[in-house]
Amino acid sequence: MVDFYLVSKRASVIIILLVCFVVTATASPGSLDTTFGTNGIYNDALTNHASYTLTPYDLVQQPDGMILVVGSYNDGLTTLGTTRVLLRRYTRNGPFDSQFGLDGFAVANRIQGPVEVYGVGRAAVVQSDYKIVVAGFTYATNNSADTRLTLWRFTSGGELDTTFGVDGQVTLFSPSVGKAAAVRMSQGKILVAGNVTQASTDYTIMTRLNLDGTIDPSFGMSGIVIAGSASGSTLSGLYEIGGPRALAVQSVSGDIFLSGHYTDASHHLGIARYDQAGNPVLSFGTNGVAMTPAGLSNGSCILANSTLTKYSNILLYTDGSVGATGSMGDLAASFFFSYFLGRYGANGVADTGFAQVGHIKGPCLTNPSRALDSTVLQSDGKIVYLAPANSSASQTLFRVNSDGTQDTTYVPPNLDFGYTQFLMLQGATKTVRLGVYTVNTNKVRVKLARYLP
């Protein structure tokens, strides 16, 4: 007698296996992950906020895989609008989290008085208790250049955390002009990097805060590390125009890595290493700084002291190696741009096992749409990056192997993600890409995509 139930069950198993095989076989490296958004892409239409326009500056993952977009938004309700800190949360698979803050937005209060004060978030970090610290700056509507280095903290539900500073906000070094550019957790405390101007000299600094928002006096000198400065065209130490975007903390040692221009004469970019107390690790590189080769260039693209040349990411490997990615440009007669990826050993010396010379240089482009703003390091040592291109429509992802050779198996589709783009690693290997698109002529929206490894 034929057991039809058993035959049916075996047939079902075979069909499932065949479907899995087909899906696996057709999902090549770099393909869009169709379990994310709609066919791998999520467009945040802001249905309930049609007047808003968004300006994203960072993309951050929560420990549970939720996605945070950080920046600023303008409500568009008046002639000038109201610019506030943008913190918007998305679920692991794309759609915005309507339970977060107000309809998916965490909103920082604007200070009202004789002059309104607006805020911009440039970076964020998630604490172990899922509270979210946003670093950036505030400014008055009548003087947008008179900025103050500011941090906000939100609860895991998207409300301002009143146990942090004053009503959830901390402003540092006022009345000095300043902006925060990066924030990380260090020794269970909040590590901030940015720039502060005093007496016509602009300083690149780090400071560490206790969890209540007060400065930690055990860090550096009375809570502050001055990495470098610029007075006119003269640089001293490690300085970054506009504030250092590349800041990283090694999980095992607690050591801190910070990027910037090292000198104006030789046009070095450097990565400085500090111990967890803020003291330079002088055994790293040269006097605590790993530097790019002097005069690094690629055709008309020259490693120069300008806003076009900077590290955008520091990558920390499990073996102690340190990677760095960034862009180099020239503001001379024409607008040229290129990118580079480099790797240093744990001692700060160029790793010649990476691309044979320790770094990769991209092609020199004229009038590219974007710099190399974001890269991710996979758990297998491969690096995914978004290279500059002559138009946002032709800008796509690339991947290099752990030895610096191009991974030709990684072929993602060409997508137009606009002029602002960032990458984030979700889990161990999947890459989430943030971009923007425009509706109603000038209203900017966020779009996200996720790629298979």
Burial class (CB in 10 A: 0-12, 13-18, 19+), 397: buried
Encoded tokens for 307? 């806003």
Closest by CA position to 417, among listed 51, 41, 122: 41
Residues 390, 330: Cα–Cα separation, whole Å:
16
Encoded tokens for 33? 């992950």
Fill in the amino acid letter for 297. S
Residue 52 sits at the vertex; the CA angle it makes with 51 and 56, to the nearest 5 degrees, is 160
Would you give per-residue pLDDT tens digits along the chain (453 residues)? 444 334 444 444 444 344 443 444 467 999 999 999 999 999 999 988 888 889 899 999 999 999 999 998 887 775 555 788 889 999 999 999 999 998 999 978 666 555 567 889 999 999 999 999 999 999 877 677 889 999 999 999 999 999 999 999 999 999 999 999 999 999 999 999 999 999 889 999 999 999 999 999 999 999 999 999 988 777 788 888 778 889 999 999 999 999 988 765 566 788 999 999 999 999 999 999 998 876 666 666 666 656 667 778 999 999 999 999 887 765 554 556 678 889 999 999 999 999 988 888 887 777 665 667 789 999 999 999 987 776 666 678 899 999 999 999 999 998 888 876 899 999 888 999 999 998 887 888 999 999 999
CB 143 within 8 A of CB 137: no
Encoded tokens for 102? 């107000």
Long-range contacts of 280-288 (CB under 8 A, 24+ apart): 281/255, 283/347, 283/348, 284/347, 284/348, 285/344, 285/347, 285/348, 285/349, 286/348
Q: Is the pTM of this model over 0.85?
A: yes
Encoded tokens for 78? 């008046």
Torsion of CA 193, 196, 202, 207, to 10 degrees: -40
CB 179 within 8 A of CB 242: yes
CB 170 within 8 A of CB 160: no
Give me the residue spans of the domains in the chain: 238-416
Strand order in the sheet with 256-261: 247-249, 256-261, 269-274, 289-291
**pLDDT for position 335:** 58
Encoded tokens for 352? 């010649």
Q: How far is CA 55 from the centre of its chain?
A: 14
CB 64 within 8 A of CB 38: no
CB 134 within 8 A of CB 126: no
CB 414 within 8 A of CB 398: no
What number of helices (H) and strands (E) belong to the chain? 1, 31
Provide the sign of the torsion angle of the four alpha carbons 263, 268, 271, 273, taken in this order.
negative
